[in-house]
Structure formats: structure tokens, C-alpha cells
């Protein structure tokens, strides 16, 4: 039964299947990352998404290199990665004719998605209060930097700046180094996902009330929400989290280790896994030593435990020991490059890389539904 379900959501000919959001219409006025990512997730799962760009286009069309020539124009990989399955058009919303056209589009829409600076839509007479009177069932989703009010209300927000302000950089970096930005726009992407969740919650509630509502997903809130377990630790002991490199602040061994061939990552979360690890490495005696016999003890005595493990791993082949440990049930993985991860056999099996026509290749939706899978119908407009 599991294999049958798996085949369903990885159907080779799924472009004609109705998605879970089929019949839902979204007007996507957003640009850059968080909003467009939200729109792409909704579109992957069947929503009709119309991407409305200003006359100069979404800024990210020029965020490169790399660029690809499509229909005589150079389009960035950055833009292509966030806007598939959408129809496209341009409108100048600063003009009355542009706003009139938008109101026509909204007549049949369920959701409007935007990330204008707070006050811009209101200045144009198309803010939530204005639109909700004309379209009471419309869900208005705004992706913002800091929300509309408060000490930072209305200010523009950017992923890296929020990583710094929300404390994320302060826990990311080598033990003796400087705080580092996470190497991908994690705040923007999680903000987009939170916007998706908000839209789906509002659509669900509308089936009871018949009314739309305002949904906001801010970068600042999303950044703060990512602080687990550091925030939970601080609430309890009030100790400032410190840089720890790849090591987990609460458990050990949960860290990267060099081997004779490649670096690997161990994620040992309980005593059973630690016992299995020791057995696989021929270090059975470690599991019986008081300093390492329990998870709290291993975390406290991580420096001495690390020395034992480094000495052993330095003599082993990384790929082989990873495979052995994973088969035993010990979470472990080689540290792969982006190209190696995208070309991995399991990436192919899970169909996590997809193509649309000759000009588009991208990462597939990670959300797997058995009857209404994600589909990939339109290259970015």
C-alpha cells in the first residue's frame, strides 16, 4: 500500500491532475523572495496564480549571474527558482488605470498576495480595509519586514539583516570565529512558508464564516520563531547562547567529523544510538564510562568524547562508515556539495528535481499528497 501511495504522488504524467488548491485564484503582487515563494507553493498545488509585476519587472530578474536567454531576454536563475506555475502580466499600480485593472482581477480572486512597504497599498486606496468592503471573501496576505506598527513598524526588512537582528547569526559560526549569516535565505523562505500556512488557515476558516481576513507574515517574527532550541534554553537558564560551529548546544555527538576521505555529520540523539555508534567503531568501552553513559553526561563532557571520536574517524572511509551507521539506525550523512546533493540517487528517486520544457529546471515541491500531488505546468512568466 505504501508503494502504491508513493507511486501516486510521483506520477510521471501528473500535469493534468487537479491539485489540492484547484479552483483557488491568487493574485500575486509580490516580488523578491518571501511573497513569490509563497505564491509558487500555492501554484504547485493547483492554485491559479497570476503574477503581477511593475513595468520594470520583479527586481530578482536581474539578480545574477547566472542568466539564461529566454525569448531574447536574459533572466536570472534566482527569479526562475521562485515563480513557476504562474501566469504573468504587468501593471503600474501607481496609476489609476493599473488599480482599476487590479480591481477587475480581484473580482474572481480568493487571495491577494503582496509585500509592498506598509502604507503603500493604503495610499493607493487598495489596502485591506478598502478591498474587504468590495470583496468580503478576499484573503489579503501581506509579507512584511517588521509588521505595520511598533518600534520598527513599517520599515523594510531583508533576510540577512533580520538574521542579524533576530539572533540567528549570533549562534551560527565557528566556536572561535565571528557570527555568520546562514548560507541561504532561511528567513525569507520560512516567511514565505508561514504566509502559505496563514493563507490555508484563512481559506479553511472562510468555509465556516464566509469571510476573508488579513494575513500577515513578517520576516522579523519568522526569524524570532527559528531560535529553537536557543530561545527555549535561554528562557530556562538565562545563559547567552554561544557560537558552537557544527555542534548542537544540547546533545553530543551531534557534530561534523573529518574522516580519511570526506567529512561526515553525526546526529546521535539518545543512548541507544550512542551504544550502536560505539559498537560500530569498536569503542564499546566508551558506552560504559560514566562520563558518556547518558545524554546529559555526553553533552557536558563533549570535548573529551570528541577526541576519542576524531581519532577513530581519521582512520575510516567516510562514505563506508556513513552507510554502515545509517543501516544500524545511527543518524549520519556525508557532507555533500550542492551539485552532489542534486545529483544524488535518492534525490532522483524522490523526483526532487523537475523540468518544464527546455528552459526550466528546478527543485520540486517537498510536500507529497497521494491523491492531489503537486504538478509543474508553467515555466516562470
Whether the CB-CB separation of 168 and 187 falls below 8 Å is answered with yes
Question: Which are the contacts of 288, defined by CB distance < 8 A and separation ≥ 6?
Answer: none
Strand locations in the chain (E): 25-28, 48-53, 67-70, 73-76, 86-90, 111-114, 139-144, 214-218, 254-258, 263-267, 332-334, 353-356, 360-363
Distances (CA, A) of 232 to 21, 222, 225, 296: 36, 16, 11, 17
Neighbouring CB atoms inside 10 A of 34's CB total: 31
Whether the CB-CB separation of 321 and 313 falls below 8 Å is answered with yes
**Cell 539572533 sits on residue:** 167
At 51, list the grid cell: 503574477
Active site residue 3: no
Q: Which of 28, 110, 188, 255 is catalytic?
A: 188
Neighbouring CB atoms inside 10 A of 242's CB total: 11
The interaxial angle of helices 271-281 and 302-313, nearest 10 deg, is: 40
Whether the CB-CB separation of 191 and 219 falls below 8 Å is answered with yes
Give the Cα separation of 60 and 32 in Å (integer).
Answer: 6
Give the Cα separation of 251 and 299 in Å (integer).
Answer: 5
- Find the helix or strand (DSSP H, E) in which 189 lies: helix 186-209
SS3 content of the chain, % helix, strand, coil (to 5): 40, 15, 45
DSSP summary character for residue 291 = G
Residues catalogued as catalytic: 188
Amino acid at each position: 500500500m505504501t508503494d502504491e501511495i508513493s507511486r501516486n504522488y510521483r506520477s510521471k504524467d501528473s500535469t493534468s491532475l487537479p491539485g489540492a488548491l484547484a479552483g483557488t485564484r491568487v493574485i500575486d503582487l509580490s516580488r523578491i523572495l518571501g511573497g513569490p515563494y509563497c505564491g509558487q507553493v500555492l501554484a504547485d498545488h493547483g492554485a491559479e496564480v497570476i503574477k503581477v509585476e511593475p513595468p520594470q519587472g520583479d527586481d530578482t530578474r536581474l539578480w545574477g549571474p547566472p542568466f539564461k536567454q529566454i525569448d531574447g531576454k536574459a533572466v536570472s536563475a534566482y527569479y526562475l527558482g521562485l515563480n513557476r506555475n504562474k501566469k504573468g502580466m504587468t501593471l503600474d499600480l501607481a496609476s489609476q488605470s493599473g488599480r482599476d485593472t487590479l480591481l477587475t482581477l480581484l473580482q474572481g480572486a480568493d487571495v491577494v498576495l503582496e509585500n509592498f512597504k506598509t502604507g503603500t497599498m493604503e495610499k493607493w486606496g487598495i489596502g485591506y480595509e478598502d478591498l474587504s468592503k468590495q470583496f468580503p471573501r478576499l484573503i489579503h496576505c501581506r509579507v512584511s519586514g517588521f509588521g505595520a506598527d511598533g518600534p520598527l513598524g513599517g520599515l523594510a526588512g531583508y533576510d540577512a539583516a533580520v538574521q542579524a537582528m533576530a539572533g540567528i547569526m549570533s549562534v551560527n559560526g565557528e566556536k572561535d570565529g565571528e557570527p555568520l549569516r546562514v548560507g541561504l535565505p532561511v528567513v525569507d523562505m520560512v516567511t514565505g512558508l508561514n504566509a502559505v500556512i496563514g493563507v490555508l488557515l484563512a481559506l479553511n476558516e472562510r468555509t465556516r464564516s464566509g469571510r476573508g481576513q488579513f494575513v500577515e507574515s513578517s520576516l522579523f517574527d519568522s526569524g524570532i520563531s527559528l531560535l529553537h532550541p536557543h530561545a527555549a534554553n535561554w528562557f530556562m537558564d538565562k545563559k547567552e547562547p554561544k557560537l558552537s560551529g557544527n555542534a548542537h548546544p544540547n546533545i553530543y555527538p551531534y557534530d561534523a567529523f573529518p574522516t580519511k576521505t570526506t567529512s561526515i555529520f553525526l546526529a546521535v540523539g539518545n543512548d541507544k544510538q550512542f551504544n550502536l555508534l560505539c559498537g560500530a567503531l569498536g569503542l564499546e568501552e566508551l558506552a560504559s564510562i560514566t562520563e558518556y553513559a547518558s545524554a546529559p553526561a555526553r553533552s557536558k563532557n563533549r570535548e573529551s568524547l570528541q577526541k576519542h571520536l576524531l581519532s577513530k574517524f581519521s582512520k575510516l572511509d567516510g562514505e563506508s562508515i556513513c552507510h554502515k551507521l545509517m543501516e544500524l539506525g545511527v543518524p549520519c550523512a556525508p557532507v555533500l556539495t550542492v551539485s552532489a546533493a542534486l545529483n544524488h540517487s535518492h534525490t532522483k528517486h524522490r523526483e526532487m528535481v523537475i523540468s518544464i520544457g527546455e528552459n526550466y529546471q528546478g527543485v520540486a515541491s517537498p510536500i507529497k499528497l497521494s491523491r492531489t500531488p503537486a504538478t509543474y505546468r508553467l515555466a516562470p512568466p
